[in-house]
């Protein structure tokens, strides 16, 4: 007998999308009053519906606390499930609408910054060439943020890397390539043009970095710790590439980004790579999917296109390391 068949029939047939929408809304807004306003129903109706769901599932989903309704331990599981179902339904309806108009459905992609300048746009352009009426939703940020979206079914696949131990149990990863990180500053920074620069010297200047949960930030934090230096406290944290580059150019800050993002600005003389090699390389990035779930046709096609572009870029020995080279020794675009 299947698990579904063993469930009380009343529970199986009565649990509806509107119940899950209620659970998700209450978790987000924190009060029945605000949930009623968002759902355009009365507060007593919302209260009764929530009681019905809790009775149906046999668990208390929310604790009533002075600051509002807070999910219980079991409630967190229900809220997470509700979010996944609602995201699936939105994606289904959006894809169905696209298909009815003669399109090819939809695809939601998450990608880290290293792929943004070359691999990602090339792969998307090829996919659009094959399926011009496909709707593509693209998110480019840090791996930890992208994986939250993948776990919630808000993203179909991610090009990035795992950031937590528990990710190994819920995601499958297909390694693609390495990501070379360069420490850099503005062309007129006091450390620009130096033949050697130490971490201790760079520690004296302000930095702009990603948040502590990102793999790129963890590389820097480990480097400072291994050098016996205190953690950086004169810094700005942001996931925005634009903000990072502007703060480096205008505020005299130091930063770290994949070389694919900054090589052109260095070649133009706007930025300089500081002569410091990080001893803590990142794990290879790869195609990440939810474990036990096959990719959709659109997602599988995109993954195959990405594989092809990555294979074309990586040398025969499988290495993609780009070493530091003094600016005077580089030709135009010599580090691309």
- CB contact burial 232-265 (16+ within 10 A = b; e otherwise): beebeeeeebeebbebbbeeebbbbbbbbbbbeb
What is the pLDDT, as a whole number, of residue 170?
95
In the chain, % of residues over pLDDT 70: 87
Identify the bridge partners of residue 110 per DSSP, sorted by sequence position.
139, 158
161 and 31 both lie in a single domain? no
Is residue 324 domain-resident?
A: no
For 209-250, write each residue's pLDDT tens digit: 999 888 889 999 999 999 999 999 999 999 899 999 999 999
Please state the rounded mean pLDDT for residues 2-12: 49
User: Does position 97 have pLDDT exceeding 90, yes or no?
Assistant: no
198 and 115 both lie in a single domain? no
Number of domains in the chain: 3
Q: Which residues contact 295 (CB under 8 A, 6 or more apart)?
A: 156, 157, 289, 303
CATH number for the domain spanning 260: value is 3.40.190.10
User: Per the structure block, which two tokens stand in for 46?
Assistant: 């919302």
Q: Which residue has the higher pLDDT, 102 or 264?
A: 264
User: Does position 2 have pLDDT exceeding 60, yes or no?
Assistant: no
171 and 293 both lie in a single domain? yes
In whole angstroms, what separates CA 249 from the centre of its chain?
26
210 and 228 both lie in a single domain? yes
User: Does position 159 have pLDDT exceeding 80, yes or no?
Assistant: yes
Burial class (CB in 10 A: 0-12, 13-18, 19+), 313: middle
User: Per the structure block, which two tokens stand in for 56?
Assistant: 């149906």
Please state the rounded mean pLDDT for residues 99-117: 79
Handedness of CA 194, 200, 204, 206 (dihedral sign): positive
What is the pLDDT, as a whole number, of residue 26?
94
Burial class (CB in 10 A: 0-12, 13-18, 19+), 147: buried
For 29-60, write each residue's pLDDT tens digit: 999 999 999 999 999 999 999 998 998 888 99
In whole angstroms, what separates CA 122 from the centre of its chain?
20
For 69-88, write each residue's pLDDT tens digit: 999 999 999 999 898 888 88
Is residue 329 domain-resident?
A: no
What is the pLDDT, as a whole number, of residue 10?
53
Mean pLDDT (the chain, rounded):
85
What is the pLDDT, as a whole number, of residue 78?
92
User: Per the structure block, which two tokens stand in for 78?
Assistant: 């229900």
157 and 296 both lie in a single domain? yes
Is residue 94 domain-resident?
A: no
Per the listing, tokens 């060439």 go with: 129
Name the residue range of residue 189's domain: 181-281
Identify the bridge partners of residue 255 per DSSP, sorted by sequence position.
184
């Amino acid at each position: 007998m299947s698990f579904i068949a063993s469930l009380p029939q009343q529970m199986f047939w009565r649990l509806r999308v509107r119940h899950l929408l209620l659970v998700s809304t209450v978790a987000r807004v924190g009060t029945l009053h605000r949930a009623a306003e968002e759902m355009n129903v009365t507060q007593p109706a919302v209260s009764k519906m929530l009681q019905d769901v809790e009775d149906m599932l046999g668990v208390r989903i929310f604790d009533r606390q002075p600051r509002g309704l807070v999910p219980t331990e079991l409630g967190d599981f229900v809220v997470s499930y509700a979010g996944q179902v609602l995201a699936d339904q939105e994606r289904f309806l959006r894809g169905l609408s696209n298909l009815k108009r003669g399109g090819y459905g939809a695809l939601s992609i998450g990608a880290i910054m290293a792929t943004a300048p070359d691999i990602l746009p090339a792969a998307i352009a090829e996919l659009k060439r094959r399926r011009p009426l496909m709707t593509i939703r693209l998110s480019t940020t840090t791996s930890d943020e992208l994986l939250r979206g993948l776990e919630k079914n808000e993203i179909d696949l991610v090009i990035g890397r795992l950031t937590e131990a528990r990710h190994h149990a819920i995601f499958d990863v297909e390694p693609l390539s390495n990501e070379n990180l360069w420490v850099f500053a503005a062309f007129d920074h006091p450390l620009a043009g130096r033949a050697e620069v130490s971490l201790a010297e760079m520690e004296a200047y302000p930095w702009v970095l990603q948040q502590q949960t990102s793999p790129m930030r963890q590389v820097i934090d480990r480097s400072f710790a291994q050098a016996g230096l205190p953690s950086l406290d004169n810094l700005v944290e942001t996931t925005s590439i634009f903000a990072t580059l502007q703060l480096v150019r205008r505020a005299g800050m130091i930063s770290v980004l994949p070389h694919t993002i900054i090589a052109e600005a260095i070649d133009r003389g706007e930025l300089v790579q500081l002569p410091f090699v990080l001893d803590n390389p990142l794990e290879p990035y790869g195609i990440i999917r939810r474990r036990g779930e096959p990719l959709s046709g659109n997602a599988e096609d995109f993954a195959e296109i990405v594989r092809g572009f990555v294979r074309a870029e990586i040398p025969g020995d499988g290495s993609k390391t780009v070493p530091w080279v003094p600016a005077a020794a580089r030709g135009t675009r010599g580090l691309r």
